[in-house]
Amino acid sequence: MTMTDSIPLQAITFDLDDTLWDNHGVMVATETGHYAWLDEALHEWMTGEGRSATQRFAERFPLESFEQHRRALARAHPLRRGDFTWLRERALREMLGEYGIDPAAAEQWAGAAMERFMALRHRVEPHPEVEALLTALGRHYRLASITNGNVEIARLPLGRHFSIAIAAGEMLAPKPDPRPFLAALARLGVAPNRALHVGDSWREDVEPARRLGMQVAWISPHIDDTPLPAGIHRLDHVREIPALLRRLGQKAPQ
Ligand SMILES: [Mg+2]
């Protein structure tokens, strides 16, 4: 154990996607689900209005072209590149406009599709151990979430564990920008070396948190015995946090 390790920790910050739950399946279901909903609802509406389009919306703009559209928007608006909600809604509005929908209706349809998106996006299933883990950690540490994604933790039952929730994309400063970490630490009232950050991304979680002087738990289930720099601790799963805290000489739930 190093000297740094034994400074008492006061706070733990958590990445969300692929740290507290597996994100891939829910993203695929959300992406295809809201787009199919828009295509179907738009088709019914246009038929009801007596407007027959030669091509359905999703034929004219397959899912891949939606993604290309978002990437082009992100390049054209670099400050917004991490604000996925904005990029999605804007891309939908522009594509609906190109499809011949007037601007007011395009705005409404894009808004409705985004509501559908957000409802599906929040069907995440946290790892079964997470609820008890956060309850136990919350007795010893202040907890915050820091995400680049568009899950609003307050919409999930888990949200009650986090007094502070940082949406880095909406701050226009997605990780690895240090600002979302600094915002969390400031609001926690904790110095960086008194906090542990838990996340799965080397580039977006581990590097920026460590550079600020935080301890880092890197959730990386790939078996790899490469020695890591001091202050970075590799775990297979978030459930191993209490054992890590014990190894670091910190307060830990039993
Ligand atoms: Mg993540």
Report domain extents, the chain: 4-22+125-247, 25-121
Give domain 25-121's CATH architecture: Up-down Bundle (1.20)
Alpha-helical segments (H) within the chain: 24-48, 57-60, 63-76, 84-98, 103-121, 130-137, 179-188, 207-211, 241-247
**Cα of 197 from ligand 1 centre, angstroms:** 12
**Cα of 48 from ligand 1 centre, angstroms:** 43
**Cα of 146 from ligand 1 centre, angstroms:** 9
Mean pLDDT: which of 77-86, 159-168, 218-227 is highest? 159-168
Average pLDDT over residues 229-243: 97
Three-state DSSP state, 235: strand
**Cα of 81 from ligand 1 centre, angstroms:** 17
- Residues 182-217: pLDDT tens digits? 999 999 999 999 999 999 999 999 999 999 999 999
pLDDT recorded at residue 74:
96
pLDDT recorded at residue 188:
97
Three-state DSSP state, 56: coil
Topology of the domain covering 4-22+125-247: Rossmann fold (3.40.50)
**Cα of 84 from ligand 1 centre, angstroms:** 15
Which residues lie near ion ligand 1 (Cβ < 5 Å)?
15, 17-18, 200
Task: Name the token pair of 197.
Answer: 């950050």
